[in-house]
């Protein structure tokens, strides 16, 4: 067994989960909503990337940027139309709405283009090289670099920019944020835009890596990214990245040990374990109210 | 400067303010005293735009601000230090101060004002990189006030700054409120600690179950028997 190889596979898969999980966790952090339509935004990103490459003849980086832009817009529109008016409604109402939006995107896509599979064009060189006996494809290196670059950009945006600070303020205390003069609606839109753009990027990367895309492809990665977000500590941005990587590595490990049928189960067993033993996640603190 | 005219405010289904009128002149410290649940915080929240009045009007510097978005009101120069400080616990002291200047674009001026806040509250300078959630109650109160000052307000709304603080700290905080006022910021102060509030205020309003029941100069209210027995712990 080639452990280095498996490690690289695990990190590549994990970075895809991490990119999707980031959007889950950011949206949860700011409006306490599990946005179940997020996996479908990921699917749309994949299709936009596919059509950009095959239809418009774009190369990989422009296609990636286009997919991110379309998804950012889609995320903002979803929030404005479906979630905004439910901000003061019960959480279950918002959750059910999110599931409705998810189904609408999935079956809307099927309605417009059919349910058939597409094969993602190999937009990247399929070369590979040897490193200490492991075969590492140029693809997986590129995937990894794209993910890492995006996560670094995200970290800079959240830590250093005005909109990032506003996002953190709103997620901590909406009313106090308003008293600073922060436009809460606009900040929430920005959060959806950024989270959805990352999902769009993940969609394109997923297409490159796994080559097959279809309208229901967002369901399982979406759920797993949700697990990753919970695993890292929902609402905590670095947690989503860590949760994604851990999940990717665990799944790859399970497959590598010869239990590939158990791969998906592993993710959900992790979810159950984390909910039993540390519901606040790896980076989460058990919240204690300070008087 | 501020003229509140017969406002009615509902907090959910509760009729929290009933025909409240008051005014604040430039340069004053005006205090609003009353017991828990009398509607003091509701009034401040209405002034800063968090709540909208059902009836009545709020004139500020000659224009109506009733029901305007909070960011417009902050921009116009009203800053609100909410009850319980509400600092952003997940951010450093300095980031909190930067957020106070969220609507400003003058980087140079913001930098200078952060230094001014540190002069006013040297404790914050020592802890500038620390997460504000780790500060003591008094330090959080200082931070909340410093953060509000970062918007360069003309009118500062303070909601229970003495809450939960040791007497010595309360004194320090009140000295700073006077200092802020001397440097040209008008103050509207909500307090349960009526003694302290009246000792620094020019004028005061007493509010009970959503209505202004008494008003006058601080000296008049300090001398009033009714106030003494109800709020000052006298006999």
Residue-wise pLDDT tens digits, A117-167: 999 987 677 777 777 777 778 888 888 899 999 999 999 999 999 999 999
Mutate to test the interface with B, among A181, A233, A239, A290 (most CBs of B within 10 A): A181
Q: Contact B75/A181, CB-based, under 8 Å?
A: yes
Q: Which residue of A has its CA nearest to B96?
A: A169
Q: Give the pLDDT confidence of A183-195 residue by residue, as tens digits.
A: 999 999 999 999 9
Cα–Cα separations (whole angstroms), residue A113 to A36, A40, A49: 22, 15, 15
pLDDT (0 to 100) of residue B235: 47
Q: Give the pLDDT confidence of B57-95 residue by residue, as tens digits.
A: 999 999 999 999 999 999 999 999 999 999 999 999 999
Tokens for A138? 């140029």
Distance to chain A for B100, nearest Cα, Å: 5
Q: Give the pLDDT confidence of B175-207 residue by residue, as tens digits.
A: 999 999 999 999 999 998 898 999 999 999 999
CB A28 within 8 A of CB A234: yes
pLDDT (0 to 100) of residue B228: 80
Give A56: exposed, middle or buried? Use CB within 10 Å, 0-12, 13-18, 19+. Answer: exposed
pLDDT (0 to 100) of residue A288: 47
Residues of A in contact with B69 (CB under 8 A): 183
pLDDT (0 to 100) of residue A217: 97
Domains of chain A from N-terminus onward: 3-125+138-277 (1.10.3470)
Q: Which residue of A has its CA nearest to B149?
A: A180
**Range B6-20 average pLDDT:** 93
CB A180 within 8 A of CB B100: yes
Distance to chain A for B235, nearest Cα, Å: 32
Number of helices (H), then strands (E), in chain B: 10, 10
Q: Which residue of B has its CA nearest to A169?
A: B88
The verdict on B52 touching A (C-beta cutoff 8 Å) is: no
Q: Which residue of B has its CA nearest to A176?
A: B86
Domains of chain B from N-terminus onward: 2-231 (3.40.50.300)
Q: Give the pLDDT confidence of B89-127 residue by residue, as tens digits.
A: 999 999 999 999 999 999 999 999 999 999 999 999 999
What ipTM score was computed for the predicted complex, to two decimals? 0.93
Rg over alpha carbons for chain A, rounded to the nearest Å, is 19
In chain B, residues 110-169 whose CB comes closer than 8 Å to chain A? 133, 147-148, 151
Tokens for A186? 């606009």
Residues of A in contact with B48 (CB under 8 A): 179
């Amino acid at each position: 067994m080639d452990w280095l190889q498996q490690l690289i596979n695990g990190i590549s898969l994990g970075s895809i989960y991490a990119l999707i999980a980031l959007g889950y966790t950011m949206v949860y952090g700011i409006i306490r909503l599990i946005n179940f339509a997020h996996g479908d935004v990921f699917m749309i990103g994949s299709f936009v990337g596919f059509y950009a490459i095959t239809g418009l003849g774009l190369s990989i980086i422009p296609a990636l940027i286009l997919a991110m832009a379309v998804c950012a817009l889609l995320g903002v529109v979803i929030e404005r139309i479906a979630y905004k008016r439910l901000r003061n409604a019960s959480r279950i109402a918002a959750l059910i709405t999110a599931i409705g939006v998810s189904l609408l995107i999935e079956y809307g896509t099927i309605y417009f283009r059919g349910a058939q599979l597409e094969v993602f064009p190999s937009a990247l060189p399929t070369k590979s090289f040897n490193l200490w006996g492991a075969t590492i494809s140029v693809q997986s290196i590129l995937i990894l670099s794209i993910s890492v670059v995006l996560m670094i950009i995200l970290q800079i945006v959240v830590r250093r920019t005005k909109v990032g600070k506003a996002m953190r303020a709103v997620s901590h205390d909406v009313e106090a944020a308003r008293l600073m003069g922060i436009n809460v609606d606009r900040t929430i839109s920005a959060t959806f835009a950024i989270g959805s753009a990352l999902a769009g990027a993940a969609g394109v990367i997923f297409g490159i890596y796994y080559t097959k895309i279809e309208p229901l492809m967002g369901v399982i990665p979406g759920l797993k990214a949700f697990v990753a977000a919970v695993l890292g500590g929902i609402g905590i941005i670095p947690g989503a990245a860590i949760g994604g990587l851990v999940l990717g590595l665990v799944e790859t490990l399970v497959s590598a040990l010869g239990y590939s049928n158990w791969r998906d189960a592993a993710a959900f067993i992790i979810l159950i374990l984390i909910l039993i033993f540390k519901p606040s996640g790896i980076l989460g603190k058990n919240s204690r109210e300070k008087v | 400067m501020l003229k509140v005219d017969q406002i009615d405010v509902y907090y959910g289904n509760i009729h929290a303010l009933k025909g409240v009128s008051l005014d604040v002149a430039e340069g004053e410290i005006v205090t609003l005293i009353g017991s828990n649940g009398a509607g003091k915080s509701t009034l401040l929240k209405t002034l800063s735009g968090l709540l909208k009045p059902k009836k009545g009007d709020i004139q500020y510097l000659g224009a109506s601000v009733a029901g305007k978005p909070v960011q417009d009101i902050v921009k116009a120069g009203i800053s609100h230090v909410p009850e319980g400080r509400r600092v952003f616990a997940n951010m450093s002291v300095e980031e909190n101060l930067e957020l106070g200047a969220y609507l400003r674009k003058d980087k140079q001026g913001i930098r200078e004002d952060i230094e001014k806040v540190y002069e006013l509250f040297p404790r914050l300078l020592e802890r500038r990189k620390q997460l504000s959630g780790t500060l003591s109650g008094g330090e959080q109160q200082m931070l909340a006030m410093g953060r509000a000052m970062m918007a360069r307000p003309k009118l500062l709304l303070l909601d229970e700054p003495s809450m939960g603080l040791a007497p010595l700290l309360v004194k320090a905080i009140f000295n700073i409120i006077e200092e802020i006022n001397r440097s040209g910021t008008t103050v509207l102060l909500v307090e349960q600690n009526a003694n302290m509030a009246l000792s620094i205020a020019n004028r005061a309003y007493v509010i009970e179950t959503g209505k202004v029941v008494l008003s006058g100069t601080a000296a008049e209210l300090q001398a009033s028997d009714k106030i003494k027995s109800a709020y000052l712990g006298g006999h």
